[in-house]
Amino acid sequence: MNKKISLSIALACVFFADTAMADKIGFINDPELAQKSTALQGLQMQRDKILAVLKVDVEREAEKILSQRQELQGKASSLSQEEVGKQLDEINGAEIDLKRRAQEASAKLQKNFLEAVVSVKEKGISPVVKELAEEKGFNAILNSANAFYTDENLDITEDAIERLNKKMPKVELEKVSLAKAKEKEASKSSKKTKSGKKSK
């Protein structure tokens, strides 16, 4: 009998303890925060704009290479086999180089974008959430998008959005281009050449 009473008291204590803890948990709708963050939305717009410019540049250079290939085909009969092979190698090399630079630029852009997003999280979202938690007396703040039910009084999404946009309204995304990728490759080649001369 005593054991049953003790067990009931223990269960009741656990229940009330959980309830007390729940009263100290706040909620933020993470997708809504991301959607209404001017910094995060701005980063996406900048990324899309840079991608669009990259696409145009790639298409422009690809058209030039195609024109060179067609021009070579037209005058191939008047050139020696050696000269045709030489020019064809140059055209193929330019095509390979364009693909490599396009891939490098795209990868660099993605890297810059992810780093900028992390920066918003670390320097903007995390400090704002911590600040609100301390003010509201929350022991933890969870993502309400994953919760079955949240009390409106415990949801601080709007407060978080307002403070985040005030603290970090915009983040500049480092630009990338095919020209920069070309300059980088030229710099590498120059260093290799100088290194080769020194070793001799």
Q: Tell me whether residue 14 is in a domain.
A: no
For residue 162, the SS3 value is: helix
pLDDT of the residue at 116: 97
Where does the pLDDT of residue 159 fall: very low under 50, low under 70, confident under 90, or very high at 90 and above?
A: very high
Q: Tell me whether residue 20 is in a domain.
A: no
Q: Let me know: does 61 contact 178? Beta carbons within 8 Å.
A: yes
pLDDT of the residue at 24: 86
Among 6-20, 74-88, 180-194, which range has the highest average pLDDT? 74-88
Strands 25-28 and 140-143: parallel
Does the pLDDT value for residue 188 go beyond 60?
A: no
Q: Tell me whether residue 164 is in a domain.
A: yes
For residue 141, the SS3 value is: strand
The percentage of residues in the chain with a pLDDT greater than 70, rounded to a whole number, is 78
Q: Which residue(s) pair with 142 in the sheet?
A: 27
Q: Tell me whether residue 15 is in a domain.
A: no
Does the pLDDT value for residue 13 go beyond 50?
A: no
Q: Tell me whether residue 4 is in a domain.
A: no
The percentage of residues in the chain with a pLDDT greater than 90, rounded to a whole number, is 70
Quickly count: other Cβ atoms within 10 Å of residue 28's Cβ: 25
Quickly count: other Cβ atoms within 10 Å of residue 21's Cβ: 11
Average pLDDT, the chain: 85
For residue 156, the SS3 value is: coil
Q: Tell me whether residue 191 is in a domain.
A: no
pLDDT of the residue at 23: 60
Does the pLDDT value for residue 12 go beyond 60?
A: no
Question: What is the C-alpha separation between 1 and 130, in angstroms, rounded?
Answer: 47
The structural domain count of the chain equals: 1
Question: What is the C-alpha separation between 56 and 52, in angstroms, rounded?
Answer: 6
pLDDT of the residue at 88: 95
Q: Tell me whether residue 145 is in a domain.
A: yes
Q: Which domain holds residue 125?
A: 25-180
pLDDT of the residue at 168: 97
pLDDT digits (tens, 9 = 90+) for 31-86: 999 999 999 999 999 999 999 999 999 999 999 999 999 999 999 999 999 999 99
Q: Tell me whether residue 37 is in a domain.
A: yes
Question: What is the C-alpha separation between 173 and 186, in angstroms, rounded?
Answer: 24
Does the pLDDT value for residue 94 go beyond 90?
A: yes
